[in-house]
Amino acid sequence: MPKKEIFVENLKKRTKKFGVDIILFCESLKKCKASSVITYQLVKSATSTGANYRASCRGRSQPEFFSKMCIVVEEIDESNFWLEVIENADLSNDKKELKRLLDESVEILKIMTKAKDTTYKNLK
């Protein structure tokens, strides 16, 4: 399998794992009304990241790929936002996992932003 295909498959697995890890992490949040609202938003954005990345890989054209990648960047950035809110509001009972997920969201955001930006340059 070519290097690019391996990278893409690993990133599909990584974004799906991120969504699953977020679902599991949300079970550890302090129980309050704010946590319920944030959990809903965070689970939506985190799972959407992987789903939309997977869809982008099936894109029929560069413009379609770019469009989906814009959504991926938006969703992972939103996930990062909600994790920061959890941290700032001290809603987590698992600080170590929160830190790991924050770091992972930043790393995925960097990768996806680079892919989106490169695709945009190639469309011109």
3-123 domain in CATH 1.20.1440.60?
yes
Q: What is the pLDDT of residues 64-103, one digit of tens each?
A: 999 999 999 999 999 999 999 999 999 999 999 999 999 9
Q: Look up the pTM and report it.
A: 0.93
Q: What percent of the chain has a predicted confidence (pLDDT) above 90?
A: 93
Q: What is the pLDDT of residues 48-65, one digit of tens each?
A: 999 999 999 998 899 999
Domain ranges of the chain: 3-123
CA distance 17 to 20: 5
| CB crowding 83-98: b at 16 or more within 10 Å, else e | beebeeeebbeeeeeb
CA distance 41 to 25: 13
Q: How far is CA 46 from CA 2, 21, 34, 77, 120, in A?
A: 28, 9, 18, 9, 24
